[in-house]
Copies of this chain bind each other. A is one copy, B any other.
Amino acid sequence: MSIKSFLIGQPIETEKEKHERLSRITGLAIFSSDALSSVAYATEEILLALVVAGAALLNYQMGIAAAIAALIVIVSTSYFQTIHAYPSGGGSYIVAKDNLGTNAGLIAGASLLIDYVLTVAVSITAGVAALTSAIPGLYAHKVLLSLVAIVLLMLGNLRGVREAGKIFSIPTYVFIISVFALIAVGLARYFGGDTAAPPAQLEATGGYIAIFVVLKAFASGCTALTGIEAVSNGIRAFRAPEPRNASITLLWMAGILGTMFIGITFLAEHYAIVPVDNETVLSQLTAAIFHKGAFYYLVQFATALILIMAANTSFADFPRLSSVMSADGFMPRQFGSRGDRLVFSNGIVILGLIAILLVIMFKGETHALIPLYAVGVFLSFTLSQSGMVRHWFRLRGKRWIGKMLINGLGAVTTAVALVVIAAAKFTHGAWIVIIAIPVIVYLTKQIKSHYDSVADQLSLQGRKRQVEYSHHSVIVPVSGAHQAVINAIRYAKALSNDVVAVYVCFDPMETTRVKQKWNTHGMGVPLIVLESEYRSVIEPLMEYIDGVRETHKGGVITVVLPEFVPERWWQHLLHNQTAWLIKGILLFKRGVVSTSVPFHLDK
């Protein structure tokens, strides 16, 4: 208990829950870390996809970046509409469920859950990569560093780190300002003719392969869009008028994201940056423009910080979505209960554990995790936008056709991007997500149907399941005649007049001794001796209990178990845990109640 409170703090009373409302400035800082931080790896992913075809295709990077920037515009416009249509929070799960039905909602929900897990894994490993680019000596420990970061985030969130706006906005704005400075100086130098190296003269590459490689690079770059929907989930956190403030923040974020992404990609091309294993593209670019001085280290640490904050947003989103799905009966009820510090602890722990597993399995490599990432994100985009199309079609309010067309464009483009991503990245790991989503959907439906069936069986309406007990038999399994047993017998005699003690015989001599003692101390309760061919207590005892169940059909049997309670924990190891085993088995026998009469040892 004290370890727990040292790690996560003292419990907080329920009534102390409060809500802080955010201005646009802090709102932008809090909700944009996930989206903006993706520029730390999105350009690199495009380059990595292109270099496999040799240097030849590297000059497609600006075209691909432009396509992705267009996608950013379309998707953010779509979400702008969602914010106004769902002012109380329009996550994909809710929008899809409301408009397209339960199945679409569950698919969106599963995609989002996967998306949140991958946000943690990708952001943390990318943040560590930013750090190890600046301090190469740490590169060998990147997996360990990632795990430490995830554990710290878990503990921080279990403590209930409030989204303390002002502190959290510092790294975001430092990141934005330093990246803009980087782009400005980089462009100035480039147009001043001062590039580190002239762009390589490139050979031409053949048609089909080129198309495939470019599509792959596009699919990789689409990770820049992850997190763009964050504002639409958190509308309620803004000051009034919430939808207006949230939607303006969204547009600002999209603008900053697009500018940074295009800027970095442009400079990476013209400074001829090529990805290497142990240093990120952003680190190489900053070093090329600024050399490794104070500003370089500022950019790297700001990048690492904003990536960790991006991971932190998932620690709010995942537990929140699972609690919503759990309230609907689609996730285990435990995800709906708040822990000591008023947070959904189970969701936080599960998220952290899965992310840790992913980081270990993929050896802390951001690049290896990316193929799993974009599928879930774009599937939830597509479902949410399709849901909005349906929404406008149903509602037919003012200018509904225009609004429907905008969301329709969003749905179609994200659907196309989804197909490209799934196809291009299928063998690199996207298949894992493509299998996982239907599996999760299936599980959520099984869970729901279990809860429905339990509610039905527990209902006091309609048929009654209770029968009148015709007879109450009490059985006391005993290991001899001693104080603990006599104690239990006395309790048993208070329950019913039909009490028997049952002794399982291994050794005839010992049995004779027990019988003699019983005659003196047994309080008149009959002692039944069972033979055990196989030296097991359980089997003969269960056979006997089944026999009693047969004899007194419709009766209830109480099995009273004398149980030792040692003073110290290690002493438990010195006693056979037969009582626990018996209780476990009895739980599955209908009409049998098990009772523990503890006997406390004094030393």
Which residues of A come within 8 Å of B, CB atoms? 11-15, 332-334, 337-340, 342, 447, 450-451, 453-454, 457-460, 464-466, 469, 472, 481-484, 486-487, 490-491, 494-495, 506, 517, 521, 532-536, 556, 558, 563-566, 571, 573-576, 583, 586-590, 592-598, 600-603
Contact = CB atoms under 8 A, between A and B. Distances in A.
Contacts of A594: 595-596
A534 B340 contact: yes
A563 B481 CA distance: 31
A506 B535 CA distance: 49
Contacts of A558: 595
Q: For the complex of A and B, list the 3 residue pairs with the smallest distance between their C-beta atoms, beginning with the closest.
A: A458-B482, A595-B595, A11-B534
Contacts of A450: 566, 571, 574
Contact of A535 (B337, B453, B460, B483): B337
B466 A521 contact: no
A592 B602 contact: no
A524 B372 CA distance: 59
A588 B575 contact: no
B575 A14 contact: no
A366 B532 CA distance: 45
A460 B483 contact: yes
B482 A494 contact: no
Given A534-B11, A598-B592, A486 B466 contact: yes
Contacts of A486: 460, 466
B472 A494 contact: yes
Nearest to A593: B597
Contacts of A595: 558, 593-596
Given A333-B574, A594-B596, A595-B596, 15 more contacts: A12-B534, A13-B533, A13-B534, A14-B532, A14-B535, A450-B574, A457-B483, A459-B482, A460-B481, A460-B483, A466-B490, A563-B587, A588-B600, A590-B600, A593-B597
Given A14-B533, A533-B13, A534-B14, A337 B576 contact: yes
A601 B15 CA distance: 36
Contacts of A589: 598
B593 A598 contact: yes
Q: Which of A334, A536, A593 has the most CB of B within 10 A?
A: A593
A430 to B, nearest CB: 28
Given A487-B466, A535-B14, A587 B576 contact: no
Contact of A593 (B337, B451, B535, B596): B596
A597 to B, nearest CB: 5
Nearest to A463: B483
B457 A601 contact: yes
B333 A447 contact: no
Contacts of A334: 576
Given A338-B535, A506-B14, A563-B587, A453 B483 contact: no
Given A458-B483, A460-B483, A466-B487, A603 B453 contact: yes
Contact of A460 (B339, B457, B517, B588): B517
Nearest to A479: B458
Contacts of A337: 535, 576
Given A460-B481, A506-B14, A333 B575 contact: yes
A583 B587 CA distance: 13
A536 to B, nearest CB: 8
A303 to B, nearest CB: 39
Nearest to A342: B535
Contact of A602 (B457, B566, B576): B457
Contacts of A571: 450
B556 A491 contact: yes
Nearest to A15: B533
Contacts of A535: 14, 337-339, 342
A538 to B, nearest CB: 11
A114 to B, nearest CB: 20
A342 B603 CA distance: 34
Contacts of A340: 534, 536
Nearest to A446: B570
Contacts of A521: 460
B484 A458 contact: yes
Contacts of A460: 481-483, 486, 517, 521
A560 to B, nearest CB: 8
Contacts of A457: 483, 601-602
Contacts of A451: 574
Nearest to A596: B594
Given A14-B506, A334-B576, A587-B565, A453 B487 contact: no
Nearest to A592: B598
A332 B574 contact: yes
A593 B558 CA distance: 13
A551 B560 CA distance: 25
